[in-house]
Structure 1
Amino acid sequence: MSISKLRKSMRGWFAKVLWGGLVVIFFGGVFVGFGRMGSNSSGSVEVAPDVVARVSKDAIRRAEFNAALGQQLEMAKYFGGSSVTTVEQTKQRALDQIVDQTLKFQAAKREKVRIRGREVDEKIGEYVQQEYDQAKSQASSPKLFEREIRKKHGSVAKLKSEIRSRISPAKVKDRLRIEKLEAKIKQRVEVTEKEYKDSRKKIKARVIMVKPEPELSTGADDVAGKSGKAKGGGSEAARKLAAKAKADNLLKQLKGGADFSKVAKQNSDDPTSAEKGGDVGEIGLKEKTYFYGDKFDEVAFSLNPGTLSNVFWGEDGYMIVRVDSEKLDLPEDYSQSKYKCLEKNCKNEWSDKPGVKTCPKCKKEAIRKVGDKKQEYIDQYKSQKEGEVWSAYTEKLKEHAKVVVLDPELKAYKQQTEGKIKEAVALYEEALKFVGGEDPFIEPAPIYYNLAMLLKQEGKTKEAMTQLQQALTYEESAGLRMEMAKLLKEQGKRKDAVEELKLAVDLADQEPSVRNELAFLLRDVGEKKLAAEMEEKAKANPGGGLTVNPGGM
């Protein structure tokens, strides 16, 4: 079964039609999943291992993985569709999804999260009502909706019963367990008004950054170097020590009265501020985290104006910060109260200074204070912090996770992303042994495609073309044709490359996510008219997929 046929069969499986045009909604996978979708195995084909991966002692079985993969393939069509060239990424996302859920289940167990049967029943009732309301909203009129209900299902009660029968209580329980875990972690967050005000602080600051010198290559200048950067010899540790020593010396000069701007211009390795004497302008929290690291905010926003920091390690170098000034940037309506008019024909809601007596709209005195803008802003900040705490919690789970991947194809992709070409090739070849077996998701075309990309990396163009041709015997794909065109052009066979790209044009409607790259490649070989047509199609359907970086041919 080809990827395109598999996609079609998946759409048929997932699109549970209640009646003409009304489709079931999937609430995070709580509907009953599917197992294996048939078998085309033969006696000579090896059976793929049932356990795909392990997260500590918990096994991820193939049926569970395939259910997640099926959902990923279904979702992919909203981003331009799945393709032979992206199958391995999709499989990795499916695995990541299950690993993420498993880690949260394990954490919920450690946190002693409990779910009662009543909670599951109530949540299922919510899902049933949501799907019913969604179906009702798609009907042209309430009367037509009721008539169709009676015709297809007999009654609303029977329809809801059918919906309920497709919802897995076990999956709902799993989802509730994660929701409760998240709520428990977020409950640990407390925010004071001072913390909120600190988050609104703006500072004007200057920085000096000293990066360790890059590793010396053969024949390089002596260890002192010509760049003025810290040189520390061969080892990374030594070079880092040299950078620290230089930064300490600069801090000593600054404390002795040296001009910060001059020292920064002469010594700082920060490309964005050195020429400006280290001036980074007026900044708020997290505005420079990407460039300088989390430690920068911790240090800079704790300094009083006119003071210097000690030397600290930033994102990729040692740093010194001086804060020149600070201000509190609160919203204009921070001190205002929120009011509501109680007059039946008014119901106005507004914010104003404390002590207002009349409604500005109807001029009546029947008003009530319903809150403070200050608390609203603090609550918004608290919600933001809760999200950050939950995100940090889940990231920590991943950092400490013990994940062992057992499936050869998934292992191969991991090796491939890490640049381990030989290991990846061996594992992809092992995965080919399971093609044609019980698992319809183990497809030869994606495996041959990735083998081709690995051989291309090694400069083995002819061997790579052979693997691409193998992939094409199993499935026609715009992405495969485009890769073939690139290899042909590398060999100087421009005419053949053009023919491959024209074949890709004919297939691009099935893979709209490749249109931008295809337009680039067509223009690169002089097919400007076809390129323009493809660009127009990409613009007309911007949701057809993310722009791919072509990288030229």
Structure 2
Amino acid sequence: MKVKTPWILFSFALWLCLIGTLHAQKAEQQTAAAGKAAIVNGVVIQEEEVNRGLHYQQQRLLATTGMAIRPDMMPEARRMVLEELIDRELLYQQSRKKGVVIEDAQVNEELDQLKKQYPNEQAFREGLEENQLTEALVRAQIKMTLAVRKFVEKEFGANIEVSESEAKGFYEANPNYFKVPETVRLSQIMIKADAKSDPTKKAEARKTLGDLQKRIQKGEDFSILAKDFSQDASAAQGGDMGTIPRGKMPKAFDEAAFALKPGEVSSIVETEQGFHLIKVHDKKPEKVVPFKDVEEKIRQHLVSQKMRQRVNEFLNEVKKTAKIERISTKGAD
């Protein structure tokens, strides 16, 4: 069975100079020397580009895992960013040899999508100015990205097949990928008192919440009290925190929430942020997504893997004759 070839994304490289460029911080730019990081068949990759790519990777990691790149891992992270940029440049050069053409209308469409991430045109312009960029530079990077993508699709995306047995094998070999964790939909009332608060302030915070607890026990509406007294951002929604998977909240909070049945309110729970009353509205047990529900996504994933393998093999051959000078991967401190 053939699967429609997905638009391959080479880690972050294809959008590196779009989203990453416009959201790079000034501090990152200031640390970027105006020097060269590498030269690929006469084309210079600037240190500034590596810094932008590294910043984007940092932001991406924070957004997806909540973790930052450790200082001891920074040299390797920087090296990987540079290698991605080198690979992208080689693929772009090959796309030009093959006569890949990107129309202005395609560039305009991508640029419009980028602009939509800003409140208005003025905010977009200010973003460019802050980062010492021009629309012409951004358009050039979009055109490069699209050329690489078109080249890869045409040269390596054809005749990739993934059998049902391959997809099923992946499903069975990676059961954790297809588990949906236990979840709870809840509301809370929080009175702040961090770990550094003096005992008197903590006692006052606990008493305040204790008084609210008594009012709830007498029948007052939890959501109204949360809206009036909670010191958490969820107060505006009557304390509603939505649906939360197990393990995503502080341990004491997590254990208390998942011990409750729908409709129940917890006793007072203490965390580093303060004191909490938790009300559970709904609970769903952990489950495994059936194979048929994820089969198509698995196939797409395996197609991407196979395409990436073809691209890597091609790049290895190209690099045998390419002139690549890696000048610097500094900036790890």
Select the structure with the greater relative contact order (CA < 8 A; seq sep ≥ 6): 2
When Rg is computed on C-alpha atoms for both structures, the one with the higher figure is: 1
Instruction: Name the TM-score class by shorter chain.
Output: 0.3 to 0.5
Task: Return the TM-score normalized by structure 1.
Answer: 0.27
